[in-house]
Structures are given as C-alpha cells and as structure tokens.
Amino acid sequence: MPEVPLLKLENVGKEYFGNRVLAKVDFSLNRGEILGLVGENGAGKSTLMNILFGMPVISGTGGYEGNIVLDGRVVRFNSPFDALEAGIGMVHQEFSLIPGFSAAENILLNREALNGSILELVFSERLNTLDRPAMRRRAARAIQTLGVDIGVDTIASEMPVGYKQFIEIAREIDRTRTRLLVLDEPTAVLTETEARILLDALRKLADGGISIIFISHRLQEVKSLCDKIVVLRDGNVIREESARSASIRDIAAWMVGRQVDDSRPPRTGKVSDEVALSVRNLWVDMPGETVRDATFDVHRGEIFGIGGLAGQGKLGIPNGIMGLSPSGGEVALFGKKIELDTPRKALDSGMAFVSEDRRGVGLLLSERIDWNIAFTGMQVQNRFLRGIPGLGNLVRIRDDAAIAEETERYIRALEIRCTGPGQRAVELSGGNQQKICLAKAFSMRPELLLICEPTRGIDVGARELVLNTLRRYNEEYGTTILITSSELEELRSVCDRVAIVGEGKIAGILPATSPAERFGLLMMGAVGDGDEAAQREAAGNA
Amino acid sequence: MSRLNRGIGSLLMDYAVPLIFIVISAAAIPLSGFSAAYLVQELLIRVGRNSFLILSLLIPIMAGMGLNFGMVLGAMAGQIGLIFVSDWSIVGIPGIVLAMIVGTPFAVVLGVLCGEVLNRARGQEMVTSYILGFFINGVYQLLVLYFMGWLIPISNPALVLSRGYGIRNAISLTGIRMVLDRLVPLKIGTISVPVATYLVIAAFCFFIVWFRRTKLGQDMRAIGQDMPVADSAGIPVNRTRVIAIVISTVLACYGQIIFLQNMGTLNTYNSHDQAGMFSIAALLIGGASVSRAGIGNVFLGVTLFHLMFIVAPMAGKNLMGQAQIGEYFRVFVSYGIIAIALVLHAWKRFRDRMEARRSLRGPAERREGA
C-alpha cells in the first residue's frame, strides 16, 4: 500500500490583480523527506510559502486556486496560526527573536511554562508566574535535538548570527505538533561551519520523521541535503528531480533558462579602453543591500550591468557611489576621486542617478512634470535660471520658457503619456514616472548615468521603450551607463558586460553574450563552493 | 581596545545623569548648612510622598510605551475621588480607601481611553500621551469647574465657589491629612518615620517584582522590545498595551491620593499638572531611560531629586542671597532633564543601529582603516 504523503500540492495557482505569479504547482512531500525549493527572485517561492502558511496577504487578494492536502485532508488556512495549529512551522529569512530575551525565553515565546495559581481562575492565565526551571528544561531539550551547544540563558542580542538561526529552529521544534518545517534561506547568514552544523541538524530532524521544505540559493547545500528538488521559474514547476540525479549545473540552467529576446539590434556604441568609473574596495551600509567589498572598472561608452539576487548588495553599489548610503572605499570617475557620502559631490562630478525608489527618491510626486525634470539641473548646474535684468547674476529666477522647451522635447522623445508639462507626477503611471526620472537624468547631460531597476513595476511596452532609450542615449552621446537590475535577461540584452554581485562582493563579471547558465552559477554562489568546473570557467572569463 | 572604550563610554552615558546630581548635591549640602537630621527627616517625608507616583510609571516603560505622560489622567481621577470624599466628610483611613474606590473607575475608563489612543499612535506614545493629558485636563476642568455643584450635587459649601457651582481653587484635606503617614507612629530620635506609607510602597514594589514574573509581564517585555515579533508569536499586542496603561493610570490615581494626604491640601486645578512632569524627571534622574527603568531607578531618582530641592534653595540663598534661585533651579532641572533624556534616547537608538550595521561591513572597511 503506498504511503499517504504528508503534504501534497494540487494545481496550486495564484494571481495578484490579474498578474499570474503561480500556475499549476504540483508536488508532494513524504514524511521525513527534505525537499529543496529553488528558483530566482520572483519565481514564486515566497508566494507559494505564503499560501502554504495562510498569510493574510493571500486571502486579502482573492485567495488561491488548487488544493493543499495535508495528511490526506484538504486544508485551507486563514491565518498563520491555523498553519501552526496544523503542525507547519516556518523559519523566516529575518530573525524573529526578542533581542533582550534569553534563548529559553525566545524558544518558548508565548508558549511559556506557567505555575498554576488561584488568580488564573479569577482573571486569566496571564497572571500566572513563569515556571523558569521548566522553561529551561524544555529549551535545552529543543536545542539538544539540533545537536548544537547553546546556553539556554544566552541573551539573543549577544548571540552570533548563526545561533539566532538555531534558536528559531529550536522554537519550531519545541512545538510538539510540528510535522513540517519550512526554512527560507536559513544558511544565508551562517558561516560555513555553522551551515554544516545546521544541515546535519536538519538531516537528524528529518530522520526523526519531520518533513522539511528547504529554500536556498546555495545549490551546493540543496543538493547535499535534500532528497528531492523542485525548480520554480516564472510561477511554474519546471522540474521535480531527485537530488541525487541532478547536477548543480542542470539546476542552475533550469532556474535561469529563459529564451533570450534577440530582437534588439546589435550594439553600435563604441567602448573605449579608457576607464570611466573605477571602484575599489567599496563598502556600503545600505539596509538590506549591504556591500562588503566591491571592486570593478567600467569603460568609457560602456553599458555595464550589475545583477544578482535581492539582498546581495547590487543596489547598494550605485546608492553608495551616489552618496545616498554611508559608504567607504575608493571611487574615481575618469581618474578623479569622488568624495563619498555627499550626493552633491557625485552630481557635481558629472554623474546622474535614477533611483530604484522612484516615488521616494526619484520624484517630487506632488510637483509638476516640468519642475521634476528641471529640478536637479537647476539645483546642481544652475540651468533653467536667468538673472533679473540689471542685477546681473545676483538674484536668479526660474526660466520657465527654457524649462517648458526642455520638457516638451522629452515628452515627445520618450513618449511620456500626460496631459501636458503641468500635470503632477503623482498622477502618472509607473512607466511614465520612470520616463520622467530618465528625462531628469538625461537633462543633466551626465558623463556617467547610474540607473537602478529601470523596468521595475512598469508594463512590457514601456519597458522596451525605456531599455531602447537607454541604448540609444548611449549610442548617440557615448554616455557610460551603469544599470542595476534584478532582471538578468534584461541586463543581458542591453549591456556589454554584466557583473554579478553575491554576498556584497562581485562574484564575477561576464560578457553579456555568455550563456545564461554561467550567470546562474555565479548567482547561486557555486563559484568558490567547490564546483571546480564552474570555478575554472568563471575564472577564465573574468 | 575600542570595544573596551566603548564599554566604559556607554556605562558613563547610562549613569551620567545620576552622577551629575550626586556631584551637585555633594557640593550643595555643606553650602546649605542643613543638619543631617533635618535632611533625613525631609527626605523621608518627600520620598514617601512621591515614590508611589513614580513607581506607577514603570509598567508602561516595560511595555515599550515610554514615559507615561498620561499618568496625569490617573492623578485627576484620584483628585475627583478626594473631592467626593471631602464632600461626604469621610475622614481617616476609610476616607483614603473610599477616595481610591471612587477614583478607580474614573482611572480605568481614562486608562482604556488613553491606551486605545496610544495604540493608534504607535511610536509616538510619549508626545501623544502628553497632549492627551492637556485634553483630559480640559474635560476635568469642565467637570470640576462647571458640573460639580450644578449637575453633580456637592453639599459642602466650603468646597464650592461663592457663585454656587464649581469647586474652589484649594481644598483643605484636613480629614485625611497625613493619616496614612501617622497610622503607625515611629520616632527614631527626633526623626518620625511614616511607616505605613512605606509599607504601602513596599507592597507596590513586591507587586512589580511579582508582575514581572507573570506571563502578562513577560508579554509586556516582549512587546516592549519588538512589537512585530511579539505579534507574530500570537501575543495580543493591542490589548496588552491597553492593560499596561490602565494599570499605570490606576496606580497613578492611588499615588496622587497618597501624595495629597501628605500635603494636606488639594490644589484643584494644579496638583495633577506637576505630578506627571516631576515624577518623570525624578525617574530619569535615577538613571532610567525611556526604554529601561527599574525599582532602583525610582528610589535613587526620587532621593536625588528631593535632596536637590531641599538643599538648592538654601544653598542658593547662602551663595547669592536669593532663595528663588533654588526654585528656579527646580523647574529648570525638571524640564531640562526630560529634554536631555529624550535626546539621549534618540541618540542611543541611532548609535545602536549604526553599531548593528557596522558588523555587516566586510573586509573592505578594515583594509581602508589599515
């Protein structure tokens, strides 16, 4: 008689506002089995986990299609607490520990052992005192199951990052009902030794009968730990394979393997040998996008792409160079050193910036289109200003005619859909807002243009236009462009070279024409983790 | 090396305020020329009078809601209780207990109101509760100045303004004046000790110690340190925060009654005003911060605060020939200390964040430093 799988997903799908993010996801997981779930950012992993965990974001946007079958019974969770009740434990990417609490207090958070008292009858259980010895015993038992040695009285804020991860897992283990454990990037913050201990601990848990879904970008770990691997791409299950039979190279190819759009004409811009931007040992304190040690050169006239997974630091690089986040290291533009931490110096030196945070940093949302376009030029380059006759340049006022002319030009060139230069930026669609950001940057006539996530949140038509505009601008004026994007395909289609950022460092730089799987391998941190063939290859290309 | 320096530096920062007060008091005591017996007697009275009010601030701090400027709501509730008890001419300990019983429902209602408002103003609890204090002060004045003697019968003409309604500016609490302080008479030499008051305060301290060990106390600590995490662990965050404020408000109500039984007069329209400001200043002087305060901070703070106020006017007079300088100093110090504490809190949070992020930086920074 075949075993009933612990978890079975049948045709699970999800649409957000008409935008399909998951389609017909099918897989099953047996008791004591470890399933590795891999995929690029945006492949649908987090949506899938949100569905499984009953997150309010799912029910709040119209629920999902298909069925989740737990232990042979169809379940539909309305809140994470339902999922917990059913025995699904989740360890998130961000730590959810109370900093001033001890390991024991954190493991038993809101499930503390209590002493009975008469007050409980009069008021509520919450007036019972904590049974600290019992709490410590239970915490110690949970920690022991993991095979690590952490004192139950250690305060969370004083723990090394690795320990925090173990404490979170111990919290799930202490729930006696936990049958399925979901771990989202558990090793991302761990050192190699810690990661190995964690993997051993997970294997032990699985042998004890707990099933595990392991989400990771480190394919090496996925392959060595998991029993089977499910690859998601664009919301579809691309492959369900036994971990033993799949090679890392295959998995990487399945993850990124998309047909490249070759419709764009070949590059005509000239790239000289002269170094336009040189970055040496850059570190940037951008929350969530920390850059640890980045070194690279961009040549004059080049379109240089920076890619990598979210949170690895790719956005930190341009934000650091522009002085928007605390940073250090050496950045030089055409041999001239740029003073970091002061956006004005960066602008003065001939750089222009299009932020990934269009609505926050990029635009003055409640202002008119023309003012948005002219603002930086006015502020930094004294353009669009004229003196009052007779006073020379003592007092200068806005030159509305010049602004109007410039704005009209860009509205035509970039096909900005608006009622006119006087419309407020907030009323435009995302794509048109992005075009205004570009116009603002172009009107600075920069030598180096830094663009973050140029096509984030805009529709397909606008996206082509934005990318083609960048291409054209580069070819017409010879402007050096640095594009940071999460869309690898987009980078490969417009750039000359693409750098992949991993863990705050440049993992490798490849010509845009390299095959997708090589980029995939760089992204998944396969280089340096032992896959020698890939390492040799990447070294040969760098 | 820098780590050790940072350790000492942050230790000094944590205790900078009490240290400054100890130094100033040490200089001012000999200048004032007061005898030790006088100082001890004064301190015993004032510490006994004030401690209960200050202790009522501890629980909201534990729940991460900062300094509860809204404690004046409790003080107003206490005063309403006292006005009724005075009107009914109930004296002695029964008068005090009855005032507390009458004040409690007002305090609970005001506490729930305050808690609900603060739940809608997360992260801005302090300024919100401060302004809420002004607003409720208006309601209190409406009640006491217009409704009492008109809608609410007040039979004792000594309490009512000559126009026929509204409570007088100052009410003499002769019936309950110092009844708690003198309940258990004890004299050591020339110094009389308000034993019963201190017993009540001790009971309060035990309550706090016990409360911290309960599940509710644990939940409050969790919420105080990280609200989203507490929420995701299933702790009822909003409800718990309201409970914290209600407890604080009710205790502030009792604290104000104890305070006023010692003073012996109720300034109907002013007494509560100062309760909040001075209690918070005293707590901060004791080395507490917006996010961390213990029983030790309360007693160190209240002692230093009052020591300063006893000696400063006399020291000022002896030094400059003016007693007002001490009075000026009192107000100046109260507001100044609160301002400093708020700035320090913001600065410390900023520093902690920077520190946390520093650890994320990689080898590049080290190379740069070398």
- Check which CATH number belongs to the domain holding B214 and give it: 1.10.3470
> Are B225 and A287 in contact (CB < 8 Å)?
no
Half-sphere exposure of A317 (CA within 13 A, CB side): 36
- A90-114 pLDDT, tens digit per residue, is 887 666 889 889 999 999 998 888 8
Count Cβ–Cβ pairs < 8 Å, chain A vs chain B.
Answer: 91
Using a CB–CB cutoff of 8 Å, tell me whether A105 touches chain B. Answer: yes
- A461-507 pLDDT, tens digit per residue, is 777 888 888 888 888 888 999 999 888 888 888 899 999 998 888 99
> Are B229 and A285 in contact (CB < 8 Å)?
no
Q: Residue B228: closest CA among chain A residues belongs to which residue? A: A96
> Are B225 and A101 in contact (CB < 8 Å)?
yes
* Burial class (CB within 10 angstroms; exposed 0-12, middle 13-18, buried 19+) of A501: buried
Tokens of A269: 């811009």
By residue range, what is the domain housing residue B45?
A: 14-357
Residue B161 in any domain: the answer is: yes
Using a CB–CB cutoff of 8 Å, tell me whether A60 touches chain B. Answer: no
pLDDT of A538: 44
Mutate to test the interface with A, among B62, B213, B215 (most CBs of A within 10 A): B215
Q: Are A169 and A195 in contact (CB under 8 A)?
A: no
* Burial class (CB within 10 angstroms; exposed 0-12, middle 13-18, buried 19+) of A303: buried
> Are A130 and B215 in contact (CB < 8 Å)?
yes
Q: Give contacts of A287 with chain B, Cβ < 8 Å.
A: 357
Candidate from B214, B219, B232 with C-beta closest to A129: B214
Question: In the predicted model, is pLDDT for residue A222 greater than 80?
Answer: yes
C-alpha radius of gyration, chain B, whole number: 22
pLDDT of B52: 94
pLDDT band at B295 (very low <50, low <70, confident <90, very high): very high
Per mean pLDDT, which of A358-362, A371-375, B99-103, B174-178 is the most reliable? B99-103
- A1-60 pLDDT, tens digit per residue, is 457 888 988 888 888 776 778 888 888 899 889 999 988 766 788 888 888 888 888 888
> Are B362 and A292 in contact (CB < 8 Å)?
yes
- B69-95 pLDDT, tens digit per residue, is 989 999 999 999 999 999 999 999 999
> Are A126 and B215 in contact (CB < 8 Å)?
yes
SS3 assignment, position A81: helix
Mutate to test the interface with A, among B206, B229, B353 (most CBs of A within 10 A): B229
Question: In the predicted model, is pLDDT for residue A449 greater than 60?
Answer: yes
Task: Report the distance separating Cα A374 and Cα A367, nearest Å.
Answer: 11
Question: How close, in Å, is residue A75 to chain B by CA atoms?
Answer: 21
Chain region(s) in chain A for CATH 3.40.50.300:
1-87+179-257, 262-350+447-542
Q: Are B186 and B44 in contact (CB under 8 A)?
A: no
> Are A110 and B226 in contact (CB < 8 Å)?
no
Q: Give contacts of A100 with chain B, Cβ < 8 Å.
A: 221, 225
Fold of domain A1-87+179-257: Rossmann fold (3.40.50)
* Burial class (CB within 10 angstroms; exposed 0-12, middle 13-18, buried 19+) of B91: middle
Task: Report the distance separating Cα B363 and Cα B366, nearest Å.
Answer: 5
Fold of domain A262-350+447-542: Rossmann fold (3.40.50)
Question: How close, in Å, is residue A287 to chain B by CA atoms?
Answer: 8
- B231-240 pLDDT, tens digit per residue, is 888 899 999 9
- Of A82, A64, A68, residue with least CA distance to A21: A64
> Are B233 and A292 in contact (CB < 8 Å)?
no
pLDDT of A433: 87
pLDDT band at B244 (very low <50, low <70, confident <90, very high): very high
Q: Give contacts of A125 with chain B, Cβ < 8 Å.
A: 215
Q: pTM (2 decimals)?
A: 0.78
**Average of per-residue pLDDT values in chain A:** 84
The proportion of chain A whose per-residue pLDDT surpasses 90, expressed as a percent, equals 16
DSSP notation for B292-357 = ---HHHHHHHHHHHHHHHHHHHHHHHHHHS-SHHHHHHHHHHHHHHHHHHHHHHHHHHHHHHHHHH
Q: Give contacts of A329 with chain B, Cβ < 8 Å.
A: 364, 368
Instruction: Say which range, A332-346, A376-390, B174-188, B198-212, has the weakest mean pLDDT.
Output: A376-390
Residue B7 in any domain: the answer is: no
Using a CB–CB cutoff of 8 Å, tell me whether A133 touches chain B. Answer: no
pLDDT of B4: 59
pLDDT of B2: 52
Candidate from A100, A128, A329 with C-beta closest to B364: A329
Q: Which residue's entry shows tokens 């002061």?
A: A342
Using a CB–CB cutoff of 8 Å, tell me whether A98 touches chain B. Answer: yes
Tokens of A35: 């399933």
Q: Residue B218: closest CA among chain A residues belongs to which residue? A: A130
Question: How close, in Å, is residue B129 to chain A by CA atoms?
Answer: 26
Using a CB–CB cutoff of 8 Å, tell me whether A128 touches chain B. Answer: yes
Q: Helix crossing, A248-256 with A532-541: angle to 10°? A: 60
Q: What is the DSSP letter of A427?
A: G
Q: How many domains does chain B have?
A: 1
Residue B6 in any domain: the answer is: no
Question: In the predicted model, is pLDDT for residue B325 greater than 80?
Answer: no
pLDDT of A211: 92
Q: Are A90 and B232 in contact (CB under 8 A)?
A: no
- B5-63 pLDDT, tens digit per residue, is 666 777 777 787 888 888 888 888 888 888 989 999 999 999 999 999 999 999 999 99
Task: Report the distance separating Cα A152 and Cα A136, nearest Å.
Answer: 6
Task: Report the distance separating Cα A470 and Cα B303, nearest Å.
Answer: 70
Question: In the predicted model, is pLDDT for residue B108 greater than 60?
Answer: yes
Q: Helix crossing, B71-87 with B237-263: angle to 10°? A: 50
Question: Looking at chain A from residue 285 to 324, which residues have their Cβ under 8 Å from any Cβ of chain B?
Answer: 285, 287, 290-294
pLDDT of B317: 79
Q: Residue A89: closest CA among chain B residues belongs to which residue? A: B233
